[in-house]
Amino acid sequence: MSKVETIKEFNMILGTFLKQTTPLVGTQYSYYFKKLIRINSTQPIKEFCTNVLPYRQQIMDKDETYFSNDSTCEELIKGEYYQLSNVLKLKSIYYKADDTTKEEIWSYFQALVLLSEQYTQLKQKLKK
């Protein structure tokens, strides 16, 4: 998969995830995401790589402390794109969700982790 295809796939999956969380958080995140990708389609994957990828192991292990760790949330709030970073934390959503929804959240996050890793690898190959 090319870098462009990876970005498109990442944005499609994240957009779908945001649409599915609309009943829990409203339309604000989805609205800002759509607006952001029109301006800069690579920004969401870059933000994910910076703010979420460091927690890769917690996500792949489905470690709930990813959602409950307040210091993680504080780090995300410092980011330039607070809205996107905040939704990627999902603390308020995760603990209200049933077990099926929690599994879906993990599936989305794991897919986004894999795509962001692929993006990082493709980006490094292009630099060489």
Neighbours of 93 (CB within 10 A): 16
- Each domain of the chain, given as residue ranges in start order, spans 3-116
The residue behind tokens 């709930």 is 64
User: Is the Cα dihedral 6, 45, 34, 23 positive or negative?
Assistant: positive
Look up the pTM and report it. 0.82
Please answer whether residues 114 and 61 qualify as being in contact, where contact means their C-beta atoms are separated by less than 8 angstroms.
no
Report pLDDT digits (tens) over 24-67. Answer: 778 888 888 899 899 999 999 998 898 888 999 999 999 988 88
Q: 88: closest CA among 17, 39, 37?
A: 17
Report pLDDT digits (tens) over 91-100. Answer: 777 888 889 9
Q: Residue 52 contacts by C-beta under 8 Å, 6 or more apart in sequence? A: 59, 88, 109, 112, 113, 116
